Amino acid sequence: MSRTVHAAAVQFNIRLGEVEVNLATALAGLRQAAAAGARLAVLPEMWSSGYDYRRLGELAEATPRVLAALCRASSDLRLTIVGSLADKVGDQVFNCAYVVDGGKVVGSYRKLHLFSTMGEDRFLAAGDRTLVVDTAVGRLGVAICYDLRFPELFRKLALEGAEILCLPAEWPKPRQEHWRTLLRARAIENQLFVAAANCCGVQGKLDFFGMSLLLGARGDILAEGGEVDTCLNATFDFAEMEEYRAQIPCYRDRRPEIYGHLP
């Protein structure tokens, strides 16, 4: 019997600065995911607060309480959960994706690439390490939103043994096709599953298109969201991934001695 994982992407309209409202929405989405049989659920980027830049430090003070609620949900619903929140350390605030598994935080990843076009680098500090973590659903590699434009990060996660790439995001219009194309490329080139959760709706001057995606290791679209709140579900079949890797042995045919240490 082949190994499978039922995955979900929980997509919703993040209410700027309204932690309690967003937490209630996220928990409802997680319950919906679990009821559909999911064992892995990915939430959007900065899902508890949105990019309320000038209040991020204040809003980050709620993160321990939000994480405690996620841990309870993970235990009660038997879910592995990934999503990013504001993380305050001293005077710095990070965009941090937490991996909650078995009722505990088992890993965290601070966003490496800050989107200077939107001023992230003015209000947030950048992380300095990658994350691949063992969970009940397999080895997860984690990235956040703008990281998607840096393929070398995802190859590193793949080479470190990631089986499923999890990506929380707040990716706005009009770059829908970039989103879809880059996600499919990351799946195809690394021959891995991808679970990507975007937000939807309007925050300030930004309009978010949703279109969360669950992708097979061939880059096939297993489930895709529209522009409204939704919970996507799909099954990742590891036998299909191994079959694809055997058919097109990209890892075996790599030439890292030529390009492995690019300047």
C-alpha 110/C-alpha 129 separation (Å) is: 8
C-alpha 202/C-alpha 81 separation (Å) is: 25
Q: Is there a domain that residue 175 lies in?
A: yes
Mean pLDDT of 22-35: 98
Which residues form the catalytic set? 45, 111, 145
Q: Is there a domain that residue 202 lies in?
A: yes
Two structure tokens written together for 226:
């529209």
pLDDT tens string 45-79: 999 999 998 899 999 999 999 999 999 999 999 99
CATH number of the domain bearing residue 144: 3.60.110.10
C-alpha 42/C-alpha 10 separation (Å) is: 6
Q: Is there a domain that residue 259 lies in?
A: no
C-alpha 234/C-alpha 81 separation (Å) is: 15
3-state SS, residue 120: helix
Q: Is the pLDDT of residue 263 over 70?
A: no
Q: Is there a domain that residue 161 lies in?
A: yes
C-alpha 212/C-alpha 57 separation (Å) is: 28
pLDDT tens string 72-120: 999 999 999 999 999 999 999 999 999 999 999 999 999 999 998 888 9
Q: Is there a domain that residue 33 lies in?
A: yes
3-state SS, residue 215: strand
Two structure tokens written together for 184:
């499919």
Are 208 and 178 spatial neighbours (Cβ–Cβ below 8 Å)?
Answer: no
Helix, strand, coil shares of the chain, percent, nearest 5, are 35, 30, 35
Residue 88's contacts (CB-CB under 8 Å, 6 or more residues apart) are 56, 57, 60, 61, 63, 94
Domain of 37, in residue numbers: 4-253
Q: Is there a domain that residue 20 lies in?
A: yes
Q: Is the pLDDT of residue 152 over 60?
A: yes
Q: Is there a domain that residue 114 lies in?
A: yes
Kind of pairing between the strands at 230-237 and 4-11: antiparallel
Q: Which residues in 145-229 belong to E strands, given as ranges? A: 164-168, 193-197, 200-203, 206-209, 213-215, 221-224
Number of domains in the chain: 1
Q: Is there a domain that residue 57 lies in?
A: yes
**pTM attached to this predicted model:** 0.96
Residue type (1 letter), 69: A
